[in-house]
């Protein structure tokens, strides 16, 4: 082999060694960079897992509170309904067994209002004949709701707002349970409801009129 050929062979060998060393260094740098990126990814993933865990806890607490509120509202409505029924039953027995314990004539009791939404309400009351007479009572009544609307005193027909006939007819022997659902006008702040009930003179009953004012004080949601 000539000197020139040996020189070329040595040069190629040195170049190959240099190239191998360079590639090895680049490979080490790439591995280090990938390690840093993997470490950063793991850190972000841990933060995301922590935040998701906190969100899950918040959602679970909110669901429990909502369920508890709904359950309490349901129980309250059931108890109120039971109380209403017991009062009606008591009134019937008083009217039959001890009419002297109740007032004579057309009367009203158990006015209740409950909020069901921002402007939605349910109302109910009982109209009854507090006397020893067992005749059928029939007539009609109106309900007017009064309050403030944009600084002015306003009055609306509560029965019409509740999509009920106005005047509303009644017919009962001992009592009539009246109830309805109503959505009040936006911005209207109710203060009271006026009842005007009338029994016209007929062959079986004498004329009678009842006027009564209820305070609009709804049970909260």
3-class DSSP state of 217: coil
For the chain, the domains span 1-102, 103-220
Please give the residue that has the higher pLDDT: either 123 or 100. 123
Lowest-confidence range among 10-19, 51-60, 117-126, 147-156?
10-19
What is the pLDDT at residue 122? 95
Mean pLDDT of the chain: 75
Is the CB of residue 140 less than 8 Å from the CB of residue 197? yes
Cα 124 vs. chain centroid, distance in angstroms?
Answer: 19
Asked if the bond preceding 220 is cis, omega within 30° of 0, the reply is no
What is the pLDDT at residue 10? 41
What is the pLDDT at residue 34? 46
Task: Give me the CATH code for the 103-220 domain, please.
Answer: 2.60.40.10
3-class DSSP state of 55: helix
Q: What is the DSSP letter of 129?
A: E
Q: What is the mean pLDDT of residues 103-118?
A: 84
117-167: pLDDT as tens digits:
889 999 999 888 766 556 788 999 999 999 999 999 999 999 999 999 999
The residues facing 144 across adjacent strands are: 157, 194
172-218: pLDDT as tens digits:
877 888 999 999 999 999 999 999 999 999 888 889 999 999 999 99
Please give the residue that has the higher pLDDT: either 136 or 1. 136
Task: Report whether pLDDT(88) > 80.
Answer: no
The whole-angstrom separation of Cα 91 and Cα 126 is 10
Listed in sequence order, the residues at least 6 apart from 111 whose beta carbon sits closer than 8 Å to its beta carbon are 123, 124, 125, 193, 214
Sheet (strand 175-183) strand order:
106-115, 120-129, 175-183
The residues facing 3 across adjacent strands are: none
Instruction: Give me the residue label for tokens 């009564």.
Output: 212
Instruction: Give me the residue label for tokens 């004579």.
Output: 104
Please name the helix (run of DSSP H) or strand (run of DSSP E) that holds residue 214, with its range, or none. strand 208-215
Percentage of the chain surpassing pLDDT 70? 60
SS (H, E, C) 155-178: EEEHHHHCCCCCCEEEEECCEEEE
Model confidence at 59, pLDDT cuts 50, 70, 90, reads: confident
């Amino acid at each position: 082999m000539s000197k020139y050929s040996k020189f070329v062979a040595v040069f190629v060998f040195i170049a190959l060694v240099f190239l191998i060393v360079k590639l090895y260094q680049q490979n080490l740098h790439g591995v280090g960079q990938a390690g840093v990126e993997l470490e950063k990814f793991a850190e972000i993933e841990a933060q995301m897992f922590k935040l998701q865990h906190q969100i899950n806890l918040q959602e679970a607490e909110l669901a429990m509170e909502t369920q508890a509120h709904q359950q309490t509202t349901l129980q309250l409505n059931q108890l109120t309904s039971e109380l209403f029924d017991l009062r009606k039953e008591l009134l019937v027995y008083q009217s039959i067994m001890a009419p002297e314990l109740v007032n004579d004539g057309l009367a009203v009791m158990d006015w209740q209002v409950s909020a069901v939404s921002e402007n939605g309400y349910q109302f109910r009351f009982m109209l009854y004949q507090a006397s020893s007479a067992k005749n059928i009572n029939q007539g009609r009544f109106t309900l007017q709701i009064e309050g403030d609307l944009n600084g002015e005193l306003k009055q609306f027909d509560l029965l019409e707002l509740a999509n009920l006939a106005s005047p509303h007819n009644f017919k009962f022997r001992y009592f009539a349970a009246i109830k309805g659902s109503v959505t009040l006008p936006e911005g209207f702040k109710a203060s009271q409801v006026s009842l005007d009930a009338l029994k016209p003179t007929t062959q079986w009953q004498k004329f009678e009129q009842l006027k009564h004012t209820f305070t609009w004080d709804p049970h909260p949601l």
